[in-house]
Amino acid sequence: MKFGKRLKKQVEESLPEWRDKFLAYKRLKRLVRLVSASGSSPRRHRGSAAEAAFLRLLDAEVDRFNAFFLEREEDFVIRHRARSTFSFCLHSDPPSIRELKEMAKKVAEDALRRRPLSAAETRSVRKEIVDLHGEMVLLLNYSAINYTGLAKILKKYDKRTGRLLRLPFIEKVLGQPFFATELISRLVRECEATMEAVFEASRGHAGASAGTAPVAAVAAADQGIFRNTVAALVTMGELRSGSSTYGHFSLPPMAPPESDLLRCGCVQVAAGPVSI
Amino acid sequence: MERLSTNQLYKSGVPVTIPTSLPSIPASLDESFPRLPDAQSVLIERELRSTPLPPHQTTIAPIRGQFHSNTGSVGPLCSPPSVRFSSHSNPDQYSIHNPYNSQAPSTATSSTLNYGSQYGGFEPSITDFPRDVEPTWCPDPIESILGYSGDVPAGNNVTGTTSIGASDDLTKQTEWWTEFMNEDWKDMVDIPTSTETQQVGQPVQPSISVHQSATQQTVSSQSVEPLAVVAPSPTAGSNTAKARMRWTPELHERFVDAVNQLGGSEKATPKGVLKLMKADNLTIYHVKSHLQKYRTARYRPELSEGSSEKKVASKEDIPSIDLKGSFDLTEALRLQLELQKRLHEQLEIQRSLQLRIEEQGKCLQMMLEQQCIPGTEKVQNAKTTSDSEIPESSTVKDVPENSQNGPTKQTESTDSQ
């Protein structure tokens, strides 16, 4: 029940178009409840029907995850590459010769981008990269949450029916595209590297800036991703705070999140949307 | 006649579980998954193909209403089978073929069995459906479908009906079904009334139809006159080709090169790009959809550039505030990025832990199978207690232990296989 509620909360906080792409945990749970414990014959018909539906739904869900994941991944690949053409333009320092050459190569495809970016454009591009980073991480979170949900529901099923569905099914899931998140992870790290360089450079220039005081006005402008990230971290912390049915398949409790960072984030979210 | 054989089947006391025998079954059970757009519509549609008969139009209609699908992605999921549980069909098709890149229908069918074969592990425990039953299914698939179409899972027939006529069976099944519906399933059924029928009529695609233990579907897919009511989809032929493509950055780079060679995203045509790319497993549909996405992605940044230019123009007179704004923005962005990085970190940790846990679970399982029971219980308890400590260090400790036993056991078991 706890997971179901947490999942629901996470879904609510997620980006709108993602909301119906998560695991149908509640439905699956209901089906498991309908499934007869092995050996009780009067309920056998319904039980077996529920079982069939359960197995079907499981597969359908996996397919759904794969479809959504691959589609998002494709989108990210496109956007990431498009953004990386700007990455050289983001540096405040003059780019090196090598960088210039690479920049010229990548920029050559579109005459429009040959001109240097204005301050506002730089801002918006930076924001886009951070947002792209955020979305990708949220996709990873999506994958993780669905995996967790599947594992849990399979455990329930095995418990109820005494069958051994969990292991082979989970193994299959491990091989699914939606769980093979290495590519997205790599893109995320590349984004991080890009932004690190930007922040390094800007730190030099900015000097004494506004400090780490919550700048609600600006950050809250993208409520969706930011909010979702905060929610994801909080949910993960809760989910991993120790389980009642601890077994050798359970995850250990998560290290407590840096409270100030998270608090900062929560303040931002609570501050409400303010336009730039 | 078919019903007779199925009744015999039931009388023989074989527990009939839907998954193995009647994948086509509860198309109406599929009603309980109304909001799953892509995979489900393909699933349902395939179910529907096996339920072609007019008497069941009434039930088909609401199902049809569910086929509100995103046209683009129905096809790709064609390869994932509706029958996942057909371990009885061609167990030798244990291919590791990845269904998501397959193009040809033949590979689609084999990949479906890949799914089915995955369940080989638990199939026997779910049902001991004797294999010799299979031949009895083949002869009259249509009649069997009449018996099982749309409404009632096979379980219904376990009530031991002998040679009942079609109408009787039907009424019994509808009775059973209404009764069934009155249970908690009711709230799971929510049938949208959208009449998106485009994707439904994929009727005459014997190549698409999944080869299952009951070959009913292959045969039934030919008898689709009633389904013709559901507007035959123009994209019927494309379904086989729309397996999910995984766009890697390298592939995308080749795509971009090809597009640039052709003069830019506006000028490039899918056909041209496809030819230039010379990639296997890539169909024109993949390229088309990818090109569309590419164009949108390129268009948006240009839009934002345009609008931000205007912003700059308006802010030119207050440069100081603008500067401050960019500092603030940087800080905010940094904060956002930090948070996201942290989430990413945690996700990575969680993922590697999960993988490791599954690995150890597998080793454990294997050990359980090899050892006698008292010994295994001890092992299990040891594992649990060690996990309740600081997991990282203890798992590190355990891994060498397990790996000593594990691999040897593994090699033993593989040898014996």
Test B340 with A229 for CB contact under 8 angstroms.
yes
Residue B63 has pLDDT above 60, yes or no: no
Q: Which run of H or E residues covers position B276?
A: helix B270-277
Q: Which pLDDT does position B175 carry in this prediction?
A: 55
What average pLDDT score do residues B380-388 get?
Answer: 48
Pick from A46, A147, A261: which is nearest to B342 by CB?
A: A261
Q: Which residues pair with B201 in a beta bridge?
A: B232
pLDDT higher for B191 or A241?
A: A241
Categorize the per-residue pLDDT at A5 as very low, low, confident or very high, splitting at 50, 70 and 90.
confident
Residue B118 has pLDDT above 60, yes or no: no
Q: Which pLDDT does position B171 carry in this prediction?
A: 55
The DSSP letter of residue B108 is: H
Give the best-scoring range by mean pLDDT among A57-71, A222-236, B150-164.
A57-71
CA distance B32 to chain A (A): 9
Test B343 with A236 for CB contact under 8 angstroms.
yes
Question: Which percentage of chain A shows pLDDT scores above 90?
Answer: 14
Q: Which pLDDT does position B133 carry in this prediction?
A: 42
Residues whose CB is less than 8 angstroms from the CB of residue B392 and which lie 6 or more positions away in sequence, other chains included: A252
Give A198-231 pLDDT, tens digit per residue: 777 776 655 444 444 444 444 444 567 777 888 8
Categorize the per-residue pLDDT at A125 as very low, low, confident or very high, splitting at 50, 70 and 90.
confident
Categorize the per-residue pLDDT at B385 as very low, low, confident or very high, splitting at 50, 70 and 90.
very low
Q: Which pLDDT does position A82 carry in this prediction?
A: 82
Categorize the per-residue pLDDT at A70 as very low, low, confident or very high, splitting at 50, 70 and 90.
very high
Reduced to 3 states (helix: H, G, I; strand: E, B; else coil), residue B201 is strand
Give B170-224 pLDDT, tens digit per residue: 555 555 555 555 554 444 444 444 444 344 334 444 443 334 444 444 344 444 3
Test B244 with A70 for CB contact under 8 angstroms.
yes
Categorize the per-residue pLDDT at A139 as very low, low, confident or very high, splitting at 50, 70 and 90.
very high
Triad B338, B343, B349: Cα angle to 5° = 125
Predicted TM-score (pTM) of this structure: 0.54
Categorize the per-residue pLDDT at A50 as very low, low, confident or very high, splitting at 50, 70 and 90.
confident
Test B342 with A212 for CB contact under 8 angstroms.
no
Residue B116 has pLDDT above 80, yes or no: no
What average pLDDT score do residues A100-125 get?
Answer: 61
Residue A50 to residue B164: CA distance in whole angstroms: 26
What average pLDDT score do residues B311-336 get?
Answer: 61
Contact between residue A51 and residue B20 where contact means Cβ atoms under 8 Å apart:
no
pLDDT higher for B286 or A1?
A: B286
Q: Which pLDDT does position A38 carry in this prediction?
A: 53
B124 to chain A, any CB pair closer than 8 A? The answer is: no
What is the distance between the terminal CA atoms of chain B, rounded to a whole angstrom? 41
Give B133-145 pLDDT, tens digit per residue: 444 444 444 444 4
Question: Which percentage of chain A shows pLDDT scores above 70?
Answer: 62
Residues whose CB is less than 8 angstroms from the CB of residue B330 and which lie 6 or more positions away in sequence, other chains included: A126, A199, A202, A206, A209
Q: Which residues on A lie below 8 Å from B188 (Cβ)?
A: 27, 30
Residue A111 has pLDDT above 50, yes or no: no
Contact between residue B60 and residue B201 where contact means Cβ atoms under 8 Å apart:
no
Least confident window among A20-34, A237-251, B189-203, B241-255: B189-203
Q: Which pLDDT does position A247 carry in this prediction?
A: 62
Test A215 with B332 for CB contact under 8 angstroms.
yes
Q: Which run of H or E residues covers position B228?
A: none
Categorize the per-residue pLDDT at A61 as very low, low, confident or very high, splitting at 50, 70 and 90.
very high
Q: Which residues on B lie below 8 Å from A160 (Cβ)?
A: none
CA distance B357 to chain A (A): 6
Q: Which residues on A lie below 8 Å from B301 (Cβ)?
A: 82, 125, 128
Categorize the per-residue pLDDT at B379 as very low, low, confident or very high, splitting at 50, 70 and 90.
low
Q: Which pLDDT does position A35 carry in this prediction?
A: 80
What is the distance between the terminal CA atoms of chain A, rounded to a whole angstrom? 41
Give A155-207 pLDDT, tens digit per residue: 888 888 888 888 889 888 888 988 989 999 999 998 888 888 877 777 665 54
Test A48 with B153 for CB contact under 8 angstroms.
yes
Categorize the per-residue pLDDT at A62 as very low, low, confident or very high, splitting at 50, 70 and 90.
very high
For residue B78, give the chain A residue with the closest CA: A63
Test A147 with B15 for CB contact under 8 angstroms.
no
Provide the token pair at B109: 């069918």
Residue B88 has pLDDT above 70, yes or no: no
Residues whose CB is less than 8 angstroms from the CB of residue B24 and which lie 6 or more positions away in sequence, other chains included: B46, B47, B50, B51, B82, B145, B148, B149, B214, B216, B217, B220
Q: Which pLDDT does position B30 carry in this prediction?
A: 42
Give B19-43 pLDDT, tens digit per residue: 444 444 444 444 444 444 444 444 4
Q: What is the mean pLDDT of chain A?
A: 74
Contact between residue B213 and residue B86 where contact means Cβ atoms under 8 Å apart:
yes
Residue A71 has pLDDT above 70, yes or no: yes
Residues A132, A137, A142, A146: what is their CA dihedral angle, to the nearest 10 degrees?
160
Test A126 with B329 for CB contact under 8 angstroms.
yes
What average pLDDT score do residues B339-358 get?
Answer: 90
Residue A245 has pLDDT above 70, yes or no: no
Residue B30 to residue B18: CA distance in whole angstroms: 13
Contact between residue A250 and residue B350 where contact means Cβ atoms under 8 Å apart:
no
Residues in chain B: 417
Categorize the per-residue pLDDT at A146 as very low, low, confident or very high, splitting at 50, 70 and 90.
very high
Amino acid occupying residue B237: G
